[in-house]
Every structure is written in structure tokens, then in C-alpha cells.
Amino acid sequence: MTLNQVLQMFAVAAIVCNVATLGLVVAAVRRRGGPGRGRVPTGRERAAVGARTVVGTAALLAIAATVGSLYLSEIAHLEPCRWCWFQRIAMYPLALVLAVGWARQDRGAWRYGLPMCVAGAAMSVWHYLLQHFPDLEGATSCSITSPCAVRYAWEFGFVSIPYMAGSVFMLVGAMLILSRRRS
């Protein structure tokens, strides 16, 4: 596969993450909408299994994003900029924390992961804005060899690498909120 094909595949995955996040939000709103509609099944054991499945899926998403990030820098040789590193600082431990939380059947894994998702999503949004408006941050913010405003990817006219990372952070965050409700 060429780098362009990989980036297109990652962009499609980001859009799928967006659709899934929207689906979770709509389901949560509908659940609040009326009595008995879409309620979580009763029973502690069933809820705990559901929460564990959600955390496991969130861990897999974070691991996939970590592997994708490493592919882009180590195999495709795209040099990460300063803001890319900040997002990695949130994503890499998120993958580990959620995997450990899933393995230990920790019902409180959302407590550790959600702050990382919020911070990572905020950094992704800022980086995405920098790609659109480079003057938001002075020219001294990033290195000459790896400026933050450069778009290594611009798939479908709007999906860049920070957009991809932000999509994963938001979906994982929504899933952790869901696991919190189930635990």
C-alpha cells in the first residue's frame, strides 16, 4: 500500500469514528427522552460485562491509533510536529491505561482515561485550527523542519492527521462516559 492509500484508509476510519460518536450521543439523548426507551438492562453482572466490553473496545481503538501514529512516523517517515507529540503524549498512555483497566476488570477505568481523552481532543482541535489558521500561533511555535501548519494529509477536503486523532479521542471519550454509566 502506498502512503496515500494508508492515509485514505485512516481518513475513512476517522469518519467512521465520527459516525459512531454521533450514534452514541443520539442514543444517550434518546435514552433520557422517555421512560423505558433504550434503558440499560438491570442487573449488576450484565452492566459490568457491558462496561468491560466498552472499555475493551475503547482500548482497541486507542491501540489502533497508537499503531497508526507509529506507522506514520517510523515507517512512512512523516516527522511529527510539536502538537503531534502532545497528542501522542495523551494517546499512548491512554492505550495502556485502558488495556490494563480492561484486563483488571476495573469499573473505574473511565476515571483514568477520560481526562486523557479530553486533553487529547482539545490538543487535536487546536492543531486542526493551526492547520487552517497558521497565524493563531507565532512562527516560533514549531520547528522549521516540522511546522505545525503543514498538512501531511488532507483527505476528502477536511480530514487531516489531527482530525483523525481528535476523532479517536472523542469516540473513546464517549465510550468511557458510556462505561461510567454502566458500571
Q: pLDDT for 84-97, tens place per residue?
A: 999 999 999 999 99
Task: Identify the CATH number of the domain in which residue 81 sits.
Answer: 1.20.1550
Residue whose cell numbers read 492527521: 161
Is 64 inside a domain boundary? Answer: yes
Q: State mean pLDDT over 58-72.
A: 97
Q: Which residues contact 168 (CB under 8 A, 6 or more apart)?
A: 14, 17, 61, 62, 64, 65, 91
Q: Which of 62, 25, 94, 11 is CA-nearest to residue 168?
A: 62
**pLDDT number for residue 52:** 84
- Write out the residue range of the structural domain in which residue 175 sits: 3-31+42-182
Is 72 inside a domain boundary? Answer: yes
> Is residue 8 within 8 Å of 155, Cβ to Cβ?
yes
Number of separate domains in the chain = 1
**pLDDT number for residue 45:** 47
Is 171 inside a domain boundary? Answer: yes
159 DSSP 8-state letter: B
Q: State mean pLDDT over 122-130.
A: 95
* pLDDT surpassing 50 at residue 33: yes
* pLDDT surpassing 90 at residue 139: no
Is 120 inside a domain boundary? Answer: yes
> Is residue 109 within 8 Å of 55, Cβ to Cβ?
yes
Count of Cβ atoms closer than 10 Å to residue 136 Cβ:
13
**pLDDT number for residue 104:** 94
Is 36 inside a domain boundary? Answer: no
Is 47 inside a domain boundary? Answer: yes
Give the C-alpha separation, 140 to 159, whole Å.
25
Is 37 inside a domain boundary? Answer: no
- Give me the helix-helix angle, 109-132 and 161-182, nearest 10°: 160
pLDDT grade, residue 144 (50/70/90)? Answer: low
Is 117 inside a domain boundary? Answer: yes
pLDDT grade, residue 143 (50/70/90)? Answer: low
What single-letter amino acid sits at 26?
A: V
Q: State mean pLDDT over 56-76.
A: 97
Pinpoint the alpha helices (H) of 34-105.
Answer: 44-70, 82-103
* pLDDT surpassing 50 at residue 159: yes
Give the C-alpha separation, 24 to 47, whole Å.
17
Count of Cβ atoms closer than 10 Å to residue 43 Cβ:
10
* pLDDT surpassing 60 at residue 170: yes
